[in-house]
Structure formats: C-alpha cells, structure tokens
C-alpha cells in the first residue's frame, strides 16, 4: 500500500514539475540539470539505485511503477523523463489548476 502511495505522489509531483517547466525557463533548466534534487526538494524519495534524467526531445510516458519496483533491487537504473513542449491545446488557465506543491506554484498567464 505504501508503494502505491509513493507512486501516486511521484506522478503528481512530476506532472506539476512538467507544467512548471512549461511556464518557467529557469525551473525547466534546473529540472533538466538535476531532476533528483528537484524531486528531493518536494519530499519525494526515490528507491536506491534509481537515477533520473530529463530529455526535452523525448516523447512517450515514464512508467512510474517500474521506478518503484526497483525498491528491492540492487541494480543501478536510469530512467528518462520525457519533457515535450507544452501542447498547444493546453491553456494557461489549465496549468493554474494544479496550484502549488511544496513550493512549486504554476503562475497564471505565465506561458
């Protein structure tokens, strides 16, 4: 049960960080440069041996459950977070719905 909650929290924080990166170029660069520290700032603890990288040119979905399946493994694994450009059909108002998460605030009309 705890593992499922951690996956949900990771997914929630990830979606907010992606939205923030669409609005804030400085945040986006920090997220690309050191995603682990950005997650740590939000209180998300990754399983030992899991490394993250952010790729703005990658497409697809990150399989969050795979990250947390590593909790009992001793392997070193790097997962790529795809960070595509903001979709044209998402309005600035849609991004503000996310509100804030421990210091990450999506600013209205920021994009």
Give 30-68 pLDDT, tens digit per residue.
999 999 999 999 999 888 888 999 999 887 777 787 777
Q: How many domains does the chain have?
A: 1
pLDDT at 108: 46
User: Is 110 part of a structural domain of the chain?
Assistant: no
Q: Is residue 111 part of a domain?
A: no
**Which neighbouring-strand residues pair with 75?**
none
71 pLDDT tier (thresholds 50, 70, 90): low
Q: Give, as one character, the DSSP assignment of residue 49.
A: T
- Contacts of 28 by beta carbon, 8 Å cutoff, 6+ apart: 20, 21, 22, 56, 83
pLDDT tens digit sequence for 82-103: 998 888 887 767 666 654 444 5
Is 57 part of a structural domain of the chain?
A: yes
Range of the domain at 77: 2-105
- Look at residue 98 and tell me if it is in a domain: yes
């Amino acid at each position: 049960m705890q593992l499922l909650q951690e996956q949900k929290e990771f997914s929630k924080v990830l979606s907010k960080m992606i939205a923030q990166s669409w609005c804030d170029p400085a945040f986006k660069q920090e997220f690309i440069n050191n995603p682990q520290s950005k997650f740590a700032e939000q209180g998300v603890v990754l399983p030992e041996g899991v490394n993250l990288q952010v790729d703005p040119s990658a497409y697809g979905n990150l399989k969050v459950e795979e990250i947390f399946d590593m909790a009992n493994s001793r392997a070193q694994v790097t997962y790529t977070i795809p960070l595509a450009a903001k979709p044209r059909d998402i309005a600035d108002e849609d991004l503000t719905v996310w509100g804030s998460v421990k210091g990450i605030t999506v600013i209205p009309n920021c994009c």
